[in-house]
Structure 1
Amino acid sequence: MIQPIVAEDLPELEALYEELIGEKGSLTQMEVVFQKMRANEAYHLMGYKVDGVLAGSVMGVICLDLVGSCTPFMVVENVIVSSRFQGHGVGKKLMLALEEIAKANSCGYIMFCSSAFRKEAHQFYASLGYALDAVQGFRKML
């Protein structure tokens, strides 16, 4: 079942994120930031549960835009499906749920970055209709 992440899900979400990035996070800090996200309607943090266990999560952020017709867009981050549940449609259901939220908010497109080495993830995104765009991603760590 797909539903918004709630505070009680944060310990399981922390474990998923550890699987995603390979390092333990701070549950205390997550709780503080989570409250800020809940207060901002642009943030959509969704989870998929299997028998009460958080199997995957995704975050979409609706961004307003001043270019052209001022159509908003969605940025996707932190797509994670536990290795225990990969290959069972969890990621697809999460991404489709975000697409519905983006459509309901009149977003013109969805964008995200994926590390170059994540070839299996790229195949997954392509299977959902996402095309590799002719742009370069840039990051500066602060």
Structure 2
Amino acid sequence: MLTIAPVCAAELGELAGLYEQLTGRKSNLAVMANIFGKIINNQDYLLLGAKDQAQRLVGSLLGILCMDMVGECRPFMVLENVIVSKRCRRQGIGREMIQYIENYARERNCYYVMMISLLKRTEAHAFYEQAGYKPGVVQGYKKYL
């Protein structure tokens, strides 16, 4: 059974491991803990984690709620650092995290969710498009809610 919930401070070591898979670089845990303290206390940020049956962190994403002053002045959501552990891919974990954050965004009246992705992450691009996101002019993805 998969659990989707905000990441807690005790999971930062596991999160750093996921980020290393994402970027190929180690995270500075002391700085990461400091930033986590700021994020966890900011209602416009949601750092989500996906935990497997053994309560290991196997996926994560960061959602950032952004205010907008155009048109209806509805906010939008930006996704960053979307990662599922290499050993757990193709099990629906990414899809569940995306559905969770989209529901969260809808509850906050967001107009759309957007993200960017490195050009070399073609497998991730296929996943995003399957989830309903469309490539934009700058190789970004946006899904209107």
Are 2:59 and 1:59 aligned?
Answer: no
CA distance in structure 1 between the partners assigned to 2:138 and 2:8 by the alignment = 34
Are 2:99 and 1:103 aligned?
Answer: no
Identical amino acids, percent of aligned pairs: 42
Q: Residue 8 of structure 2 corresponds to which residue in structure 1?
A: 6
- TM-score, normalization by structure 1: 0.93
Q: Residue 26 of structure 2 corresponds to which residue in structure 1?
A: 24
CA distance in structure 2 between the partners assigned to 1:137 and 1:124 by the alignment = 14
Q: Residue 115 of structure 1 corresponds to which residue in structure 2?
A: 118
For residue 130 of structure 1, the aligned residue among 113, 133, 136 is 133
Are 2:45 and 1:43 aligned?
Answer: yes
Q: Residue 77 of structure 2 corresponds to which residue in structure 1?
A: 74
CA distance in structure 2 between the partners assigned to 1:106 and 1:77 by the alignment = 19
CA distance in structure 1 between the partners assigned to 2:22 and 2:126 by the alignment = 18
CA distance in structure 2 between the partners assigned to 1:52 and 1:125 by the alignment = 26
* Paired residues, number: 137
CA distance in structure 1 between the partners assigned to 2:95 and 2:75 by the alignment = 23
| Structure 2 unaligned residues grouped into runs of 5+ | 141-145
CA distance in structure 2 between the partners assigned to 1:67 and 1:137 by the alignment = 23
Q: Secondary structure at the match of 1:70?
A: coil
Q: More strand per residue: 1 or 2?
A: 2
| Structure 1 unaligned residues grouped into runs of 5+ | none
CA distance in structure 2 between the partners assigned to 1:137 and 1:96 by the alignment = 21
- TM-score, normalization by structure 2: 0.91
Shift of 1:109: 0.2
CA distance in structure 1 between the partners assigned to 2:117 and 2:135 by the alignment = 10
Shift of 1:137: 6.0
For residue 35 of structure 2, the aligned residue among 24, 33, 36 is 33
4+ long deviations beyond 3 Å: none
- Deviation per CA, 1:108-138, whole angstroms, max 9, x where unpaired? 00010011121111110111111112x2269
CA distance in structure 2 between the partners assigned to 1:137 and 1:66 by the alignment = 24
CA distance in structure 2 between the partners assigned to 1:68 and 1:57 by the alignment = 32
